[in-house]
Amino acid sequence: FGPAQRVPLRRQVRLGAATHQKRLFDAAEPAYAQTFLTHFDSLTPEYEMKIAQLQPAQGQFDFAIADQLVAFAEANGKQVRGHTLIWGNSLPAWLTGRTWTRAELIQVLETHIATVVGRYRGRIPEWDVVNEAFLDDGSWRPNLWLTTIGTEYIALAFQAAHRADPSAKLFYNDYNIERINAKSTAVYSLARSLQEQGVPLHGIGMQAHVTPNYYPSQAQLEAVLSRLEQAGLEGQLTELDVSLAKLTDTPDAEKFELQAQIYQGLVAACQARPGCTRITTWGITDKYTYLGSTGVPLLFDTQYAPKRAMEVTQRIL
Ligand code: XIL
């Protein structure tokens, strides 16, 4: 017999989904939770962990729903991706309805993160710390944090999150960064700058809201993932959906085959790159997607049947 052939361990890319608390706990529609529990390894609260939901009034936190989601995940051996601590959207009126000094808003940012991340210390393994800080041309996206604090808000957010839970992996999250372009290069430069400042950052979340008119090929996504790997960073697809809304005249069989091919390339790219650790679809079923009824962007149809996209995804993962 020759030397034992080391069969490369099949790296496990985890498959996750964004979930809606109302549907997850809807006894009238058990298929939603059942499909999640059967096919997905992690959940991302679609909106329940955003600032407006968790801190509806300054200093008044409401964790009831977030606690339910974390308890549900833990009871079922699933992980939670925390989403998202600092974003320019989903901000409550108490934040947007007045002016702040720089020092005051830094205090607000650090208190929010310390309270939220600290509450789930050791229970939420990954956080999207900052979401969507760039415009497509790679310039800074104006938001409350940038205009009042300056670009330092990003480093401050990551440092606050790390202080609150040193065990959590911290991600920067954005869209249209799934191939080498001005925006993904601006994100890469930010990541390198944070690393040089010693700011804790573990990965980049690529939302991957794509369509037949805009999607990266497998090679294009692998190139972005490879660039991140060279910087010691994980890459994840964090909000994957493939909207077919523009293909209204295309027969179903043809459009769902095209959709499956797009999923195939993205999933294969993630499976091929050691730095790609998780794929999260932005929802479970076409019945409930933030893209509306014509997008039919997800892995399961409105009757919770697996689509061609799920068949090709399962074959790869
Ligand atoms: C969306 C949710 O899907 C909606 O339910 C909510 O009303 C608004 O936010 N990028 C993100 C997500 O990072 O948080 C957004 O989710 C979709 C775009």
* Residue 234 designated active-site: no
Residue 163 burial (CB count, 10 A)? 14
Radius of gyration of the chain (CA): 20
Supply the DSSP string of 188-201, one letter for each residue: HHHHHHHHHTT---
Q: How far apart are CA 172 and CA 45, in angstroms?
A: 17
Helix (H, G, I), strand (E, B) or coil at 82: strand
Interval between CA 63 and ligand 1 midpoint (Å): 19
Token pair belonging to 103? 């020092």
Q: Which of 24, 83, 89 to mutate to test the pocket of ligand 1 (most atoms within 8 A of CB)?
A: 89
Q: Residues 6 or more apart from 209 whose CB is under 8 A from it?
A: 175, 239, 240, 241, 243, 282
Q: How far apart are CA 193 and CA 111, in angstroms?
A: 24
Convert the pLDDT of each residue in 156-196 to its tens digit. 999 999 999 999 999 999 999 999 999 999 999 999 999 99
Q: Indicate the helix (H) or strand (E) that contains 106.
A: helix 102-119
Atom number, ligand 1, closest to the C-alpha of residue 173:
13
Whole-number percent of the chain with pLDDT over 70: 97
Atom number, ligand 1, closest to the C-alpha of residue 290:
3
* Residue 104 designated active-site: no
- Interface confidence, given as ipTM, is 0.96
pLDDT at 12: 76
pLDDT at 73: 98
Quick check: CB of 53 below 6 Å from ligand 1? Answer: no
Q: How far apart are CA 276 and CA 234, in angstroms?
A: 6
Backbone φ, ψ for residue 208 (5° rounding): 60, 40
Q: How far apart are CA 84 and CA 49, in angstroms?
A: 6
Kindly report the pTM of this predicted structure: 0.96
* pLDDT band at 7; cut points 50, 70, 90: low
Convert the pLDDT of each residue in 195-208 to its tens digit. 999 999 999 999 99
pLDDT at 211: 98
Average pLDDT of the chain, as a whole number:
96
Q: How far apart are CA 314 and CA 71, in angstroms?
A: 27
Convert the pLDDT of each residue in 230-285 to its tens digit. 999 999 999 999 999 999 899 999 999 999 999 999 999 999 999 999 999 999 99
Q: Does 49 have pLDDT greater than 80?
A: yes
* Cα dist from 16 to 39, 80, 104, 243, whole Å: 8, 9, 36, 18
Q: Does 225 have pLDDT greater than 90?
A: yes
**Can you point out the beta strands (E) in 143-283?**
169-174, 203-206, 209-210, 234-242, 276-281
Choose the catalytic residue: 48, 132, 178, 222.
132
Backbone φ, ψ for residue 281 (5° rounding): -90, 150
Number of H helices, E strands in the chain: 12, 9
Are the C-beta atoms of residues 17 and 40 closer than 8 Å to each other? yes
Quick check: CB of 290 below 6 Å from ligand 1? Answer: yes
pLDDT at 8: 54
pLDDT at 1: 53
Quick check: CB of 46 below 6 Å from ligand 1? Answer: yes
Interval between CA 92 and ligand 1 midpoint (Å): 15
